Structures are given as C-alpha cells and as structure tokens.
Amino acid sequence: MARIPRTATLVISAVTAFAWLIVVILGADDWAARTMGFIPARLSGAQVPAWLTPLSATLVHSGPIHIGFNLLLFAWCGTAVERVLGRGPLFLIYVIGAYAAAAGQWLSDPHGMVPMIGASGAISAVIGAFALSFGRAKLITKSARVNRWINIVWLLVAWVVLQVLVGWTAGAQGYLLATPAHIGGFVAGLLMQRPLLLWKFRSA
C-alpha cells in the first residue's frame, strides 16, 4: 500500500478541512466567524487579542464551495511551490501571507466590523510564489534583475485587476469578497519567493 507523503500542503489542507468540518457539525458558523475571523476594528483598539485572528480566520469558511475552491487552489499551487522551495518555506509563505492579507484588509477599512474569514489571503501568497516560480520573465532589457522586477510588477498588476473585477462581479451578485486581503497576500508571496529560493540554494 502506497504511503501518503506528509507534505506541508497536505498538513495545512487537512487542518483547515478538519476545522471547518468541526464548525459545521457543531452548527457554530456564526460563533466561529465572530470569534476566529479577522475583524479590522480589533486592530484599531478593541477588546480581543487580535494578533492570532489572521491565522484563526484561515480555519473558518462560509460553506463547502468556499472551502472546496480554496483547498483545490492550495493543493495545486502549494504542492508545486513546496517542490521548489521546500516544506518550511511553504509554511512561512502561508503564515506571512495570512498576516499580509489581514494587513491589506485593515488598511482598506481600519474600523470595519465584518469578520474576514477563509484561507484565501494566505493561499493568495502561495499563488504569488507559484506565479513567480513558474512564470518566465521576458527579455525586455539586458538586465536579468530589471526583467525580474518587470515580471513581478506585471504579475501584481494582473492579479490586482483580476481581483478588482472578481470583487466587483461578486458584489453585484450580493457576495462579499475580501479583495484587499487577496492582494495583500499575493504581494507577500511575490516578495518572499526570491529570497526563499536563494536561501534554499545558498550553499549550492
């Protein structure tokens, strides 16, 4: 019988799915969103320790489609990024991405009271690292460094435009998406990919 590899992608996916399942079984969706969700106003002088909620929010989802789509994207991109950078760097990108997503959401609405839930922001960081790992920079100038930064800026602009369009479409249909969080997470993934790649091959 084949042994399932214990990858970081699999561990994060399993913990996220298990947490969502427990919330569903207990019928505690509203409680989980209020308690574990990231609420920007908490960082603007509120009552509950806010430092943990960017992470706990990744364990709370609004339904099977929400968590299913998130985990599908994460499984696809996370596995590939983990092959390139390793298990530890993937965990780091995911965690930093969760906090960057929360920062993006807070900057867009510092006194917002609507809980931000879901792992989309953290997964956006993994997608950013994925895009930079497998997207080839075009030879626009003679400098590889400049070409790399042009590629980063292009990926960022494309992601921002995509997120704004998706957020606008969802809003027109009555759905609320944390677009600033997705952008914040993606930026974190873009900025972390190169340093983590260089760190991994520092002695090569």
DSSP characters over 94-158: HHHHHHHHHHHHHHH-TT--SPB-SSHHHHHHHHHHHHHHHPPPP--SS-HHHHHHHHHHHHHHH
pLDDT for 94:
96
pLDDT for 13:
92
- CATH number of the domain encompassing residue 123: 1.20.1540.10
Mean pLDDT score of the chain, rounded to an integer? 84
Residue 15 lies in a domain: yes
pLDDT for 45:
58
Residue 87 lies in a domain: yes
pLDDT for 146:
83
pLDDT for 44:
63
**Arithmetic mean of pLDDT, 108-118:** 84
Residue 194 lies in a domain: yes
**Arithmetic mean of pLDDT, 181-197:** 93
* Confidence band of 203 (pLDDT split at 50, 70, 90): low
Residue 6: left (phi > 0), alpha (psi -120 to 50), or beta? beta
3-class secondary structure, 79: helix
* Confidence band of 80 (pLDDT split at 50, 70, 90): very high
Total count of domains within the chain: 1
Q: For residue 166, give its domain range.
A: 8-200
pLDDT for 33:
85
Residue 96 lies in a domain: yes
Residue 24 lies in a domain: yes
Residue 2 lies in a domain: no
Q: pTM, whole model, 2 decimals?
A: 0.80
Residue 159 lies in a domain: yes
Contact 125, 188 (CB under 8 A): yes
Contact 132, 155 (CB under 8 A): yes
pLDDT for 30:
85
Q: Is the pLDDT of residue 185 over 90?
A: yes
Distance CA 40, CA 95 (A): 18
For residue range 31-71, what is the model confidence (pLDDT) as tens digits? Answer: 888 888 888 877 665 555 678 888 988 988 888 888 888 89
Contact 57, 36 (CB under 8 A): yes
Residue 153 lies in a domain: yes
For residue range 135-158, what is the model confidence (pLDDT) as tens digits? Answer: 877 788 888 778 888 888 888 888
